[in-house]
Amino acid sequence: MSHAASFPTLPTLPELWQTTLGWQPTPAQQEQFQQLYTYILDGNQRLNLTRITDPEEFWEKHLWDSMSGLVGVREWGLGVSDCERRGTLENPPALPSSLRLIDIGTGAGFPGIPAALTLPQAQVTLLDSTRKKLAFLETVLVQVGVQNAQTLCDRAESVGQALQHREQYDGALLRAVAPAAVCAEYALPLLKLGGVAVLYRGQWGEAETAALRPVLKLLGGNLEAIAPFTTPISRAARHCLYLRKTAPTPAEFPRPVGVPSQKPLE
Ligand SMILES: C[S@@+](CC[C@H](N)C(=O)[O-])C[C@H]1O[C@@H](n2cnc3c(N)ncnc32)[C@H](O)[C@@H]1O
């Protein structure tokens, strides 16, 4: 890396983590967040990875935002087909000891890399169709010492039809990838029964919920929870949607590459 010393330091903000998400990184995780930030800033000089480079903005819009959906994962459980086992933040359901997660459209590694760093029991697949971003992420994983994540260069539509991936994941994460109905078509085929997809959305309202429900029914999913958040610094609205897979997804989904986004299910 060039000029490592010239990169800014991330804020730590332990109280803000704690009061907003009931969680805060350990000192080792904080150090890894700092390394991740530094390597992404460095990579940004060659690749167009993210517009968010200011330390406070990076903390809020990449790290805090990624963790907002993962804290919910702790609460709602993953790979738990019996919804009775759903827990609370104080009394979370046990996560499976080997958890398989897929970050669909990971881009610069969000939320997948924070997931790998903070869920050591998970194996995280970072899926994206852009090879040069993934080649960069592979170096970042080595540099930051992330051993429980690997990259996969493909389209979500193809991966969802591949035997080695279909119905293999306990959880799927999707942030800033596509409209909710498209995300659902990408994610649900990949989940085991009982698995959960976390859709990171900005504004979200009842009309969107009403439009999404029939799509989920087609795909074998159920909208189990919507967690509203306000980002702690810029006070913007966020909603994390938790989609539970409750029935096998029909074989026709996901449809061929490009079709889900060109003709979203309704
Ligand atoms: C706007 S970026 C978001 C990246 C990251 N999730 C984040 O929130 O910072 C969307 C990413 O999704 C990837 N993507 C979009 N559609 C995809 C598909 N069908 N299969 C795989 N990757 C896809 C793009 O290549 C891009 O890197």
Query: Does residue 254 have a cis bond before it (omega within 30 degrees)?
Result: yes
DSSP designation for 88 = -
Which CATH number describes the domain made up of 4-262? 3.40.50.150
CA 127 – ligand 1 centroid, Å: 8
pLDDT tens digits in sequence order for the chain, 266 residues long: 654 457 899 999 999 999 998 889 999 999 999 999 999 999 998 888 999 999 999 999 999 999 999 887 766 555 443 344 455 545 555 566 678 999 999 999 999 999 999 998 899 999 999 999 999 999 999 999 999 999 999 999 999 999 999 999 999 999 999 999 999 999 999 999 989 999 999 999 999 999 999 999 999 999 988 989 999 999 999 999 999 999 999 999 999 999 999 999 99
pTM (2 d.p.): 0.93
Using an 8 Å Cβ cutoff, are 225 and 76 in contact?
Answer: yes
CA 108 – ligand 1 centroid, Å: 9
Residues with CB under 6 A from ligand 1: 105-108, 110, 127-130, 133, 155-157, 175-177
Sheet holding 237-245, edge to edge: 149-153, 122-128, 99-104, 169-175, 191-201, 237-245, 221-230
Tokens, residue 211: 């439009």
CA 93 – ligand 1 centroid, Å: 30
ipTM of the complex: 0.99
- The type of residue at 175 is R
Q: Which residues pair with 198 in a beta bridge?
A: 173, 242
Q: Domain ranges in the chain?
A: 4-262
